[in-house]
Chains A and B, each alone.
Chain A
Amino acid sequence: MKIRNILITFFSAIAILFSTSVVSLAKVVGDKIILGAAISLTGKYSSNGVHTQNGYNMAVDRINSMGGIKVGGKTYKFDIIYYDDESNPKRAAQLAERLISQDGVEFMLGPYSSGLTKAIAPVTEKYGVPMVEANGASRSLFTKGYKYLFAVLAPANLYLDVAIETAVELNGGKGVRIAQAFEQDAFSQDVRLGILDAAERTGSEIVIDDKLPKELNDMAATLAKVKAVKPDVLVVSGHTKGALTAIRQIAEMKVDVPMLAMTHCDAAKLSKQHGKNSQYALCASQWHKTLTYKDDFFKDGMTYAADFEKEFGYDPPYQSAESSAALLVFKDAFERANSFDQKKVRDALAATNMQTFYGNIKFAPGGQNVDKPMVLFQVMCDDAGKCENKVVAPLKWASAELIHPIPKWSER
């Protein structure tokens, strides 16, 4: 009885394996360029995974409908094979293997999050598969000497750099006192390193340096310390839960701090979930729809946002915009390489120098985009309690003036 069960399981496993691997797709089939992507459609990153996928799909449709990709005098269209990596790095690496060795994919798009990109990069590197990724910002991705990894976004250590510099500038060039709390993950710790660099450069002092756990939902202790120590800037980075928890407890504990800088405000839908309590928070963002970059496909940020909203029913977060940009980069590289040879495409990618609606894109030897600064927006609310994110730094793109210092809770 037992042996029979084992045999049945064994053979059905083999049958399943075969049924999925029989259909093997090559890199370019007919007029289609097939890209592969492992995306978190379920699990803890599923919401941002979906933003990523929507960004990819939006760009695929747009490029295909506007004439496709011209290589060697022939026109091709993009197509993407998606697999769900379940927000699990091990699974993501397996799926990358599968995409490359079973499905025959020769060009990859990145997954969501630094952690998952880190899991996939060694695989694409091993097979020499060029990967353009849009959602892995961790600095450690760009120091490993990967030759086939290209990221359209600015690295994590630059996220809140601007905030510290602005604070120092407003302080008459003198160093400021910084309190910071960062989650214990690759991305947030890179943001922290960026702050440490900025602090050293500007002669600022770190007065509180807390680490947050991944199951964070209470940071009252950190905030009580902030109340006691009274720093000039409070920096918090802990994905969406960090942003939500910080705003809730800052409002409840009436923590007065002249500048509050964070990450993941738009992913956390801060202004929607917290309304006026989120007012004055400064947020690092890779992109904002009011930036005036332009390209032929999406025109500019505002048009992109409107088209995206029409298609998917919500305002695009930067995760979607950068994902769309990844496809524009691929198209540009294919056309310049004028070939589907992986090495030639890789070299063309490395030589990318273009503007998209999302920003300028030019890759450093490590693969990170060095031509697109981060922007800072500030949550600003009107009297009726309707809140909006307005870009305040760098000055070149500012659509509103930074409100500094943040008014005290007793005066709000």
Chain B
Amino acid sequence: MDFLVFQVPMLTVQALLDGLLLGILFALIAYGMALQWGVMNIINIAQGDLVILGGYIAYFMYLYGIHPGWGVIVSPIIMYFVGIGIYKLVINKVVDRDLFISILATFGISILFMQLMNFAFGADVVLANSGYGTTMLFNNSVTLPNSKIFSAVVSIVFAVGLVIYMKRSKLGRAIRATAQNARAAKILGVDTEKVYAATFGINAALCGVAGALISITFTIHPYMGLPYTIRSFMIVIVAGLGNLPGVALSGMGLGIFEEFADYILGTEFRIGSVFLLLVIILVYRRFKLSRKREYLK
């Protein structure tokens, strides 16, 4: 236990800001998970692997001399089609089944993706340099990498854009109707098959954005996906499926929690503390993986 973070006020500020920016990025990944969980009742264990795949897209752009910042545009477009592909191949066969089957199926996809990425891209840890520089606050005692600020801003833009899209567009309305009651929506003429595919595609696209952002703020590696799955799972069960402001808040909360756990318990307990928190919350809420589809607001 180390309480240096509270003894030096600037460290407290640093931890808060770092956690906040990180949390916004987590919230974006969690939002994708909440969306497809709500609509399709599928817990996607491969969420983190989709994120990493998105990161590799930005990384390869960087390798070929394109600024990795453009990854936030290119990566979601490619990932959308990857998502549709996964849906057509696997997910559409498990979408109406038991939750357990879907967890198994996505777990399989996760392993497959890890191995394929390792095979295709190699086991090296890689990153893309954005060259965005650093913002210094309080006379250089608090530093914020601009890449983290960029990540947070892009995440917010995509999240807000998606909310508006869900409210205004025809597909958005169809998605919400399917989430509310798939059978009724089908009877009323909504092509639920298409809606499911689009939802999974949108989720993969959000993962693509997040992955591109992670490649310029942190590092990527074929086996680094799981922590992102766990974090988004955790954010979603804290916030509830239909609760977007809740997802944003619990994302930021998790980011700050992680950052302080890092300072106080040590970096080695960072992910551990997330798991611990997950267990505590599950026990506290006596969370049952409800088969009831919640209404996505």
Q: Which residues of A contact B (CB under 8 A)?
A: 42-47, 87, 181, 184, 210-213, 215-222, 224-225, 227-229, 239-241, 244-245, 248-249, 252-254, 268-269, 273-275, 410
Contacts and interface: CB of A to CB of B under 8 A. Distances in A.
A181 B267 contact: yes
B267 A47 contact: no
A220 B22 CA distance: 11
Interface stretch (B76-84, B124-132, B278-286): B124-132
B219 A221 contact: no
Nearest to B219: A217
Contacts of A45: 123
Interface string B1-12: 000110010110
Contacts of B266: 210-211
Contacts of A210: 266-268
B122 interface: yes
Interface in B13-31: 14-15, 18, 22
A44 B223 contact: yes
B8 A221 contact: no
Given A44-B118, A47-B122, A254-B134, A216 B143 contact: no
8 contacts: A42-B115, A44-B123, A46-B122, A216-B267, A218-B270, A245-B218, A254-B134, A273-B127
A151 B129 CA distance: 38
Q: Which 6 A-B pairs have the closest CB atoms?
A: A252-B145, A211-B268, A221-B262, A217-B218, A241-B125, A46-B123
Chain B CB within 10 A, most for which of A46, A221, A253 = A221
Interface of B: 4-5, 8, 10-11, 14-15, 18, 22, 115, 118-119, 122-127, 129, 134, 136, 140-141, 143, 145, 147, 214, 218-219, 221-224, 226-227, 259, 262-263, 266-272
Contact of A221 (B15, B124, B214, B224): B15
Nearest to B264: A221
Given A224-B15, A254-B136, A240 B125 contact: yes
B123 A215 contact: no
Given A44-B223, A213-B268, A224 B218 contact: no
Contact of B11 (A228, A249, A268): A228
Contacts of B272: 213
Contact of B263 (A47, A221, A245): A221
A215 B226 CA distance: 9
Contacts of B263: 221, 224-225
B55 to A, nearest CB: 11
Contacts of B147: 252
A42 B259 contact: no
A254 B144 CA distance: 10
A225 B118 contact: no
B262 A248 contact: no
A42 B143 contact: no
Given A44-B123, A224-B14, A184 B218 contact: no
Contacts of A211: 266-268
A225 B4 contact: yes
A176 B229 CA distance: 42
A275 B263 CA distance: 29
A43 B143 contact: no
Nearest to B221: A241
A226 to B, nearest CB: 11
A212 B145 contact: no
Nearest to A184: B268
A217 B55 CA distance: 14
Contact of B127 (A42, A216, A244, A254): A244
B267 A213 contact: yes
Nearest to B263: A221
Instruction: Give the residue among A42, A45, A218, A273 with the most B Cβ atoms within 10 A.
Output: A218
A244 B126 CA distance: 8
A82 B115 CA distance: 21
Contacts of A410: 140
Contact of A268 (B14, B125, B222): B125
Contacts of B268: 184, 210-213
Contact of A253 (B143, B227, B271): B143
Contacts of B259: 220-221
Contacts of B10: 228
A224 B14 CA distance: 8
Q: Which of A216, A220, A241, A268 has the most CB of B within 10 A?
A: A220
Given A221-B263, A252-B134, A43 B14 contact: no
